[in-house]
Amino acid sequence: MSTLKQQVGNLTISSPIMVASGPLTDSPDLIKKAEDYGAGCVSTKLTLLEQPIKGHRRMYAVRGMYTFNPSDKRNDFEQGLELVYKTKRIASIPVFANIAGPGGNIEGWIKISKGMEEAGADALELNFTCPNMAFSKTPDGKVAGAMVGRNPALMKEIASSVKKAVSIPVFAKATATNVDYLLSAKALDESGIDGIVTMGSQLGVPPIDIYRGGRTLMPNVGLNSTGGLTGPVNRLLALRLISNVAMNTKLTILGGGGITEWQHCIESIMFGSTLTPICSKFLWDGFEVIPKMNEAILRFMEEQGYETIADMRGLALKYLVPSDKIEAYDVLPHFDRAKCVRCGMCLKIGSCTALYFDENKNIQVDGEKCQYCGLCASLCPRKAIYFPRDWENQ
């Protein structure tokens, strides 16, 4: 019998689906709703010991592509404590408190960490990536947000100090923008904390209205700024970071980034994740999608013979090698005539001169021109083109 339940340190978590820190976890009622729909755990909206800049919740999204926010509301210390305390009064779901101390002030990080533990947090998520808009110091000269995340030695010192000061599990979210992420991960691994949260939002530029001279498309914003970019545009980058961390550290990985389908959760796990944080998908479609995702993951596990999440974890890593060790096979495309509707989409591939329609308008391939790239199979809307994988049995 397959199960989604797993142990993460001393926490029992019912599903690999984690609701990532953000607007979705900014109230006890929303967190309780996430629990009721089957989320395994949540990370609360970011709490700052000191607010480096004033934030306003402004967001813009293109469904299925990205969510962008140049500014967001963040909780001060008392608000964050109240959020965790009230949540634990009405919900039993494991709560990761997403927190940030004042730059390099170690005592400040310890203060906010102990406060969250006393309020009832089940784990900590040290935020070394937000605020991430400017990668700069605050107006009064303090290091804030992602500036900490660009300093592996400082992250290691903060993480190590917090780990010694509390008894609950400690995770860290390191910025993935303009840094060597593996250096950050190795520093966090050396700190002795329990794990890492990948990958946080990337730094993006605002969407603009080309018919209004480049002004922002966002409502309720005049002047705009760079800001956090989340959603599917980041997914393959996120998988690269997850696999890199999995192959080079012993950290437990909470591997998010662009997850919108249950299959994406499986991908993340097979690259090394234990939990899969999700934000944009739930912003767009609500928590109501969680039961279907849980059911689909469980059904997949039963069909494929995986009893636990751990049985799937890291399976893809053995097939990930440096580019000079890629195994490339010269296999011609094959065609499923029953699926082909002769739409001609494959003939539009700009780099291909090998595919053509014969006199009966059946797709054919010129073997002397084919470069075996595989693009046609992935772009065919009917999946009527495929490449036999007989070499897998060799």
Residue among 27, 13, 88, 32 at smallest CA distance from 287: 32
- What is the reported pLDDT for 104? 85
- What is the reported pLDDT for 130? 80
59 cis-preceded (ω within 30 degrees of 0): no
Terminal-residue alpha carbon distance, the chain? 32
Residue with tokens 């969407």: 207
- Could you report the per-residue pLDDT of 233-286, keeping only the tens digit for each? 999 999 999 999 999 999 999 999 999 999 999 999 999 999 999 999 999 999
Could you give the CA distance from residue 356 to residue 364 in angstroms, rounded to a whole number? Answer: 5
Helices (H), the chain: 28-36, 77-90, 106-119, 146-149, 152-165, 181-191, 235-248, 262-270, 280-285, 290-304, 309-312, 375-379
Angle, in degrees to the nearest 10, between helices 106-119 and 152-165 = 40
Domains of the chain by start residue, with CATH: 6-319 (3.20.20.70), 327-393 (3.30.70.20)
Residue among 179, 189, 121, 192 at smallest CA distance from 148: 179
- What is the reported pLDDT for 393? 73
Angle, in degrees to the nearest 10, between helices 262-270 and 235-248 = 30
Residue among 15, 18, 3 at smallest CA distance from 255: 18
- What is the reported pLDDT for 394? 59
**Residues in contact with 270: Cβ distance below 8 Å, sequence separation at least 6, in sequence order:** 312, 313, 314, 315, 316
Mean pLDDT by 10 residues, the chain (394 residues): 96 98 97 98 94 85 94 93 98 97 91 98 94 48 68 95 98 91 97 95 92 95 91 96 98 98 98 98 98 98 98 98 94 96 96 97 97 97 94 72
- Could you report the per-residue pLDDT of 79-96, keeping only the tens digit for each? 999 999 999 999 999 999
Query: How far are the Cα atoms of 21, 110, 181, 268, 352 from residue 254, in angstroms, in the given order?
Result: 12, 22, 15, 9, 40
The helix/strand/coil state of 3 is coil
The helix/strand/coil state of 75 is strand
**Residues in contact with 269: Cβ distance below 8 Å, sequence separation at least 6, in sequence order:** 16, 255, 276, 309, 312, 313
